[in-house]
Structure 1
Amino acid sequence: MCPLFSNLKEILVLSHFEYTRFQRTYRIKLRENSKGSSMPHYRLTYFQLRGRAETARYIFAYHGIKYEDNRIEWSDWPNIKPTLTFRQVPILEVDGVVINQSAAIARYLARETGLAGNTNLEQAQVDAIADTINDFMNLFPWTEKDQTLKQKMIEDVFINNSNLYLDGIENLLGDKMWFVGDSVTWADFHWAVCSITLTNLKADVLCSHPKLLSLKERVEELPSIAIWIKQRPNTVF
C-alpha cells in the first residue's frame, strides 16, 4: 500500500476510535445526569503489579474515569489479607460495595462504559474470549516457589498448550481490527494486558501469531491507553 494511503488509513482508524470513545463517554455522562448523581467512587485494590487488576485499569484509563488505585505493598499484605472476605485481591469497591474476582470486575466496568459488546450475543462472544485467555493464563505456575521447577513448568506450558490456545484465539480475531464487532471491547484490553506477561515469560511467543501481536499494538496505540502505559508503575508482572 502507498505510504500516504497507509497513513491516511491509520488516521481515519484513530479518528474512529476517538469518535467511538466520545460516544461512549457521552452516554456515561447522560446516565449520570439522568440519575441526578455523580460518577461512583471507585477504589481498586491490588498488589503493586499489573496482574489481574490491569484490565480494569485499562478500562478506567480509556475513558479517563477517576478511581483510587490502591496498591498493596508486600510487607502490608499479611495484615490486610485477614480483613478480606475471600483473602484475595483484586477487589473493586463501588461506593463501598465490594466486588470480588477480576473477571467480574472487568465485566461490570465494561458494561458500565460500553466496552462489553453492543448486543447480548456480542457480550457472550467477548466473555468467551476473555475466559479462554484466562484458561490459558491459569495454566502457568504462578505460586510455585521452587524457581527451577517453576521455569520447567512454564516451558512445559508453552510447549504443550500455547499453540492450541494462541492458534484458537488468533482464529477468533481473524482479519478483524478487534475481537468482536467494529470497536474495541474489554476482551481486546484483556489480551493486550496478558500478552505483556506472556512475552515477559517467552520473548518470541507471538512471533508465530502476528495478528495477535498487531492487536496488542493497536490497543497500546490508543491515545488514552498509551498515556496510561507511559505513566503507570514499571513492574515485571
Structure 2
Amino acid sequence: MTKYRLHYFNARGYAEVTRDMFHMAGVHFEDVRYELEDWIKEGSTTKETMPFGQMPVLEVDGEKIPQSAAIARFVANELGFAGKSPVEKAWADAFADLYKDFLNEMKPWAMIAFGYPGQSGDRGELKKTVLDPARKKYFKLLSKTLEKSKSGFLLDSGICYADLMFFETTTSLIGFESGFLGTDFPAVTEYFKRIGEHPKLKPYLETRPVQPK
C-alpha cells in the first residue's frame, strides 16, 4: 500500500485541499505539521530536507513532491478528484488555474490583511479596490459555470480538487472579512454550502483544527 506523508505548517493554507481529498477518499496519510518558529529558528535544517526549501511537500513512498498545485493535482488524479474524462481533467486544471488568477488579483489586499511583514497599504481601501473587484469577477465566472452544471459542482461528474480550492480560500476569507460571501451571487452561496455539506467532507470539516489567524 502506498505510504503518504504530507509536510506543512500547523495551519490550513496551501495544504488543506490535499488534506480534504485524503479524508474524502478515506485514504490514510501522515499529516506532518510544523510550527513556524521551529521552521525559521537558527540552526534548523528542516528546509534543507525539502526539494525547493519550502512547503507543502508530499512524500509518496519516500519520494518528495513539492509545490501545492502539483501535489493537489497528483492526489486528485490518484484518488479520483480530477475529472472522469480527458476533457474533464483539462477543465479541472483550467479551473485550478483560474483559482490561481484569483489569488494573484487579491494578493495586494491579502498581504496586508494576513499581516505579511514589510507591507504597507490601507486594508479598507484595498478591500474596495482589489478584493471586491476580484470577488465579483470570479464569482460571476463561477455562477456562469454552475448554471450549466449537471452536478452542482464545476465538473458534471462531481466534486473535484478545483472546487475545494475555491471553497477553502473562501472559507478563510470569510474569517477575515465576514461579509465576503455576500448575497448577490446566490448560486455561489449555495455552491459553497453544498461543498461544506458534502457527506465525504463534512465529518473532517467538523473535527479539523481551528484555523490560526
TM bin, normalised by shorter chain, reads 0.7 to 0.9
Aligned residue for 1:235?
211
Partners of 1:56 and 1:153 in 2: CA distance: 33
Q: Please report how far the alpha carbon of residue 114 of structure 1 lies from its aligned counterpart in structure 2 after TM superposition.
A: 1.4
> Residue in 1 aligned with 2:132?
159
- Preserved contact between residue 117 and residue 185 of structure 1 (Cα < 8 Å): yes
When Rg is computed on C-alpha atoms for both structures, the one with the higher figure is 1
Partner of 2:198: 222
- Supply the AA of the counterpart residue of 1:173: L
TM-score in terms of structure 2 length: 0.85
- What is the aligned-residue RMSD (CA, Å)? 2.0
Distance 1:232 1:178 in 2: 23
Give 1:140's aligned residue.
107
CA contact 1:49–1:235 (8 Å) conserved in 2:
yes
Alignment equivalent of 1:121, drawn from 87, 91, 116: 87
Distance 1:168 1:215 in 2: 13
Rounded to whole Å, the distance in 1 between the matches of 2:159 and 2:202 is 15
Tell me whether 1:182 sits opposite 2:154 in the alignment. no
CA distance in structure 2 between the partners assigned to 1:167 and 1:82 by the alignment: 42
Which has the larger displacement, 99-108 or 130-139? 130-139
Distance 1:167 1:202 in 2: 19
Say which structure is richer in helix: 1
Deviation per CA, 1:154-176: give whole Å up to 9, x if none.
41322342222221222122253
Matched, 1:201 2:176: yes
Residue in structure 2 matched with residue 81 of structure 1 by the alignment: 47
- Secondary structure in 2 matching 1:98: strand
> In the alignment, is the contact (CA less than 8 A) between 1:188 and 1:215 conserved in 2?
no
Structure 1: distance between partners of 2:212 and 2:141: 27
Q: Using the TM superposition, give the Cα deviation of residue 100 of structure 1 relative to its aligned residue in structure 2, in angstroms.
A: 1.0
Which runs of 5 or more structure 1 residues have no equivalent in the other structure? 1-37
Residues 234, 123 of structure 1: CA spacing in aligned structure 2 closer, same or farther, 3 A cutoff? same
TM-score of the two chains, using structure 1 as the length reference: 0.77
Q: Residues 47 and 129 of structure 1: is their aligned pair in 2 closer, same or farther, counting only changes over 3 Å?
A: same
Q: Which runs of 4+ in 1 moved over 3 A?
A: 141-144
| Count, aligned residues | 199
CA distance in 2, matches of 1:219, 1:159: 23
Aligned to 1:42: 4
Separation in 2, partners of 1:154, 1:77: 31
- Summarize the Cα distance change of 1:162–1:222 in structure 2 as closer, same or farther, 3 Å threshold: closer
- In the alignment, is the contact (CA less than 8 A) between 1:62 and 1:224 conserved in 2? yes
> 2:167 touches 2:195 (CA, 8 Å); kept in 1?
yes
53 and 118 in structure 1: CA distance in 2 versus 1, 3 angstrom threshold: same
Is the 8 Å Cα contact of residues 11 and 212 (structure 2) preserved in structure 1? Answer: yes
Q: Deviations over 1:84-132 (max 9, x none)?
A: 2312111100001111111111111111111110111111111111211
Tell me how far 1:213 sits from its aligned partner. 1.8
The answer to whether the 8 Å contact 2:50/2:57 transfers is no
For structure 2, the residue ranges without an aligned partner over 5 or more in a row are none
Note if contact 1:116-1:185 (Cα within 8 Å) is conserved in structure 2.
Answer: yes
Percent identity at matched positions?
33
